[in-house]
Structure 1
Amino acid sequence: MDTTYRSVRDARDHLEDILDAAGEGRPTGIVRDDRRVAAVDADRLLHYLMSVHPSGAAVVAEADGWSIFIPGTPIAADGSTLDEAIDEMIDALRDYADEWSDSLRIAPNHADNWALVQIVSIASDDQLRSWLRS
């Protein structure tokens, strides 16, 4: 069964079918002009992205606490305990994702952080904590 809808109107008329297909893991999408958009189950997407895009977070113990950063990004945080540093890092990641969506996505040195932003946008705080620790 073809679940690619060739217009927004057609997709709107079949929104339940699109959501069902995405939830079942079946390919589904919408074509608007020359642009294709995929509808996917968020949990499946998150699981996949986290498996192919490890955080790579570097954790450094310092005399007065902990620092955590993700190499190649401007995202870093500090805390007096490791848990506090990770909580601060989650806040920093969420702030970065907001800034990326607002303007950084078109900056050449940030454009490739799409997967990171998707992970941060979809994941719960607990999921991000686990991802940062792995």
Structure 2
Amino acid sequence: MSLVADYGSYTETRTHLKDVLDATAQGRTVTVRRDDQVTAVMPAEKLRQFFFHAVSPHVEIFKENGAVVALMKNRPFVAEGADVEDALADLILSLREYAEDWEDRLQHAPNHASAWALVQLVKLSTDEQLLEWFDRGGE
């Protein structure tokens, strides 16, 4: 059995969709060609885990003027709350709002194009998984 399953057309892929999903569940690389574009198919959790380790959160927590501040170093995200839990919840909300804006309009802006991996991580993660990423994620 080959470690790569290549499907040369959308029609072929649709006809073999169960095989495509079975192959990805077995850890095989699956590609689908549509015109000149080749797309890889993979389990969402494997992709999320990759981004969990590849994208660094660099969250710093500190107190300022009686509030707890959560700051993502080298990224334009800052949130505050009455305590650490509130500040991190607000940071997650900011990341979710950014991911929506990125998909709607920011992805083509030169200063936002590199945020693709961050956006995918946010979209594929629950709030609890993002809290874990803040604490243990990244390189």
Structure 1 length-normalised TM: 0.92
CA distance in 2, matches of 1:128, 1:112: 19
The yes-or-no answer on 1:74 pairing with 2:76 is yes
SS at match of 1:28: strand
Shift of 1:69: 2.4
The yes-or-no answer on 1:15 pairing with 2:14 is no
SS at match of 1:36: strand
SS at match of 2:102: helix
> Which has the higher mean CA deviation after the structures are superposed, 100-109 or 71-80?
71-80
8 A contact 1:75–1:96 mirrored in 2: no
Match of 2:111 among 106, 109, 112: 109
Match of 1:121 among 120, 123, 136: 123
Partner residue in 2 for 1:98: 100
Unmatched segments (≥5 aa) in structure 2: none
Shift of 1:56: 1.3
Shift of 1:115: 0.7
Amino acid corresponding to residue 95 of structure 2 in structure 1:
L
SS at match of 1:109: coil
Shift of 1:72: 3.4
The sequence identity of aligned pairs, in percent, is 34
SS at match of 2:63: strand
> Once superposed, what is the RMSD of the aligned Cα atoms?
1.4
Unmatched segments (≥5 aa) in structure 1: none
SS at match of 1:108: coil
Partner residue in 2 for 1:50: 52
Shift of 1:27: 0.2
CA distance in 2, matches of 1:18, 1:119: 23
Amino acid corresponding to residue 86 of structure 2 in structure 1:
E
User: 1 or 2, which has the higher strand percentage?
Assistant: 2
CA distance in 2, matches of 1:61, 1:26: 48
> Which has the higher mean CA deviation after the structures are superposed, 107-116 or 48-57?
48-57
CA distance in 1, matches of 2:69, 2:92: 13
